[in-house]
Structure 1
Amino acid sequence: MRISQHLLVFISVLSLTRAQTATVAATALESTVAPAENATTSAAEPWIAPAIFYPFRSAAGDTEHFLTGDESYESVALSTPYTFFGRTYNSLYVHYNGLLTFNQPEPASGPNYNPTRGAEDFIAPLWSDLDDMGWMGMFSYQQYTNGSVLTRATQDINQYFPQMNFTASWVFVVTWDYVDAVDMNSFIRHSAQAITFQVVLISNGSLSFFLINYGDCAVIYDQVEAGYDTINSIDHFVIPGSTNGYSVSNLRNTSNVNVPGRWAFSANSGLESIIGVQIRLTSFSDLTQSENIEAVLLRIKQDLFSRGLSSSIQMKLREVKKTQP
């Protein structure tokens, strides 16, 4: 008769992050988060951005760019170099179409579906032909090297990646805001349907991370995608549910860090982390047979992918410890 036992499995994971390493079962699980409140307000009330958003717009001292042309972008010189999966950049390109590229601007109006296996490093918080929607739109950005924003970024990264003992020295915040409005008052107050999202780049000079925050996201009747990709797609990820314009309104309820509307990622290559996964098996021999080991690792990897883990990671069994049931 077999006795059910608890085994603590230690797995070596390359390029693994805390945001993708919450204790998981060996079967794929669907993460659920509580729905956020609708941020759209009536014209008589001032609009308040979701609490997960970092400060933005002119009130925060941002540089603002209102939509001026089709497939337009702005080049931004970085005060501190930012390393994105092994490549270091001193500038980047912010596109009105919900895209941030590093090594070159992207001429396409809509997404080249990830993985592109192309020649670009990019973050696509919500890549679509937003500048052809006929809405009022803008993006704003600011770089920080001191103050409360760095304190907040440090706290966020240490919460999601606690093994790093991280202290932020530079933060870049860029926010896109589109409203189906024809006058500035309606735009500022979000008195019509809106699409608002944000990217936060965070670095300490050697380690790099980024956050994607979602507020209101109206239905998009065009191709759309959210995630990130790298040159030759060595590292890439697509946020689940982001490739259907009818379902992007739910992005504000999704997360890989149990914070509705927020996705957190490491942009570091070649890091090795050790995680413990507690699973229930029918016998100790279940993990002594190579075919069973590979099956268990595959199922764990699939679950971690769904929580934002880069597709390029490698996993191997380091140690198995038998614990009391």
Structure 2
Amino acid sequence: MDPPPPLGQGEQPKKGEPEMYDDWHRPVRKMGISPSAAANSDHFGYKLVEAPTFAWVDASSGTEVFIEGEDRDDNYTEAIDIGFEFRFYERTYDQLFIGTNGFVTFDEGSMSFNNRPFPGDTPPNGMIAPFWDDLDIADGKVYYQSLDGVAGRTFVVEWYRVIRYNSDPNMVLTFELILFENGDILFQYRNLNGILDEATVGIEDGDGVDGLLYLHKSPGLSSGKAIKFIRPDPGARVKVTPLYQSGFAIPGRAVFKLNLINTNEEGWDIFDLTATLSDTEWNLAFFASDTRTMLTDHDNDGIVDTGRLDHEKSTMIVVKVWSPTDATVGDYTEIEIKATSSDNTEKSWITRVQVAVPAGFAQAYADSQTGMYLSLTWAINSDNLQVANFFTGNTLSLTMREGGGYVYSWEKNGEKFIGGQPVQFSDIETILLDDFGDISRPLALLTNNGDVATPQLLVNARYPALANAPDGSTGIIWAEYKLDLNTFLTNSNIYFAILDPDGKVSFGPLNVTNNDGWRGQGEDEVPAFNSPQIVATEDNRYFLAWIDGRHQPGGEISSVYYSIYKSGGVRVKGPTLFAQSIPGSTLNIDPGLADLSENRVLIAYSIFDQNAQTYSVAYAIVQSDGDLIKDSTIVPESSGWRLDAAQLKTGNILIAWTNPTTERIAFIILDQSGNDLISSSQDLPLLGERKPDYVSVTTSEEGYGILTWMDAEWKDYLYYTLVNENGDVLTPAMIFISGQAVNPLIQTSFSGQGIAAYKGKWQTFMPTVNRK
């Protein structure tokens, strides 16, 4: 098995697996929600009951969709007329979309096969799911039909003899949903076979903030079962979106916008607004949408409110939060904002806001593949600067320059044509920025793989990693992959180059590994290199590390290698085996490096036990000449992959990773020798339902550890937390960057190089005076 590329790079995710995983990274747990654990009503007021009678409605005389010749796997129809106005939560629909994967949606079609619990803000939303799973129509059929009956009009969708994807064709599933004109919903299951505990069954509103779940990845379905969702009568109720927001108080203030909806079908209402702060030294006030008019008490009950709001109408509320005058970096408050109906005080909605005083840091990221950005944040000011117009690669890297400013590098995919045939390749691109994020040296290509690639040979430079030495030079390491499209053999190598303080190449690019072998699919020992890492030590040496993966008769191996160069390009040590895996037993993956005081280097990596299917975090410390100081040590009770590390100002060492067992970000604090645990392994609380991954760490001026990471499922957000030298969490996990596009795609470093230190500075502009 070749080491897989990171997310979105070269391979599609395996069908049925969340996109964040690949062949070397698999979740350890599977959690389900059973009917006994699910709620029987939601916030809006829908009630879930198991129908007392099963009365199948045959829709086969209606209209068939996904007919022969169309895509019958992971597909959806065009908008289909329901035949009447159907009330679903606070909205009314006359059309819907039918999906092959056992659900219907209203606002847009979806082919999603990765089911999840309800409610959840990840798309698709606004859905009714009698059996959401990875289904295939195969030899089955899907029908819909509008019917008139004594009890009113209904709309039926029937999935007839469909199967789970890639399953036994005899394990057929026949089920249906029925929409009633009064807003009720019925699920019926005529014939269920095979695996029945992987589906999601329930309903969800169009914003993904309210829903009623019958089960998720749990037993509970059987042939002959009927489940009904009963729509509530009109009455007082309210909804506020989003459910959660967070931001930094810069300088000393943060502003948030809430959308409040009177979801009652009849009658106006006034909604009282209250706030509970975890730190009462902070202050808060509610404003109208113009951001200037402070909301008041319109109904004289002593509580600030929205004023009169007609049924099914919405209003924007602006929330302003101020930090205490003596607040310091790391201080925060968590706020619970409650909107309560004046018509019925038992009807309310709670949304949460989190605000913190940030440490200074620089974050590199790409947003929706439209550009490369550098976010510079500190307690007094923040800037979000676009440094390039397009991002066509998959990962990036950032390092702070010794004299100030940053070196920023990423992959750039390219295409050309030779004789009318397409030629694909990727290069490494770099840019130099000053302290304010302004460009000091424009974009430059470090590689020129477009000159090497042909219609029969793909050449890709991947995984750039950067380090800046005390003398101002910058080392950069990356992996190069060649694919022969005639033989489908691959060749890989690790490359290294050095940039002078002006950003010009002073050494290399050098082929560090000098591998001329071509790797096939059989059992061979031709290496496949990946996960390049680099740090610079105080004595101006570059310490390089990477993974060497090979097939051997006894099984696959994956080992950590390293090499050392002086900043002038002189080699101190050639490729050297550091941590060897055991064929067929263990794999060493995901190295992370940190430069330590006294010319030392921390090497952290993950050990995958192929038999137990567990991941342990290990680390060692070496001198800049390669001499071992601290033997490899496994962190007690650790489970982790994709690591990063940094030394704090006190000398203590922070190591962070993704915990695949709990699907959270975890970390430890070591003393500066690496011999003692100051803080044992601890998980950061999960913020919402998004799975985290790809953590990067750096240090702040105050000596704290800063951790940022990606929303690895949908890539809508970047998260932040702050810890001190003893492992205490100063600022809990919070979102600090959100995608701004309709379908955002936020990406940062896959190798722990997404952030760097930042010393906040004011930029002064002098006025121009014309003199005559």
TM-score, normalized by length of structure 1? 0.50
Task: Report the structure, 1 or 2, having the larger strand content.
Answer: 2
- TM-score normalised over the length of structure 2: 0.22
| Structure with a larger share of its residues in helix | 1
Q: Which has the higher contact order (CA 8 A, sep 6+)?
A: 1
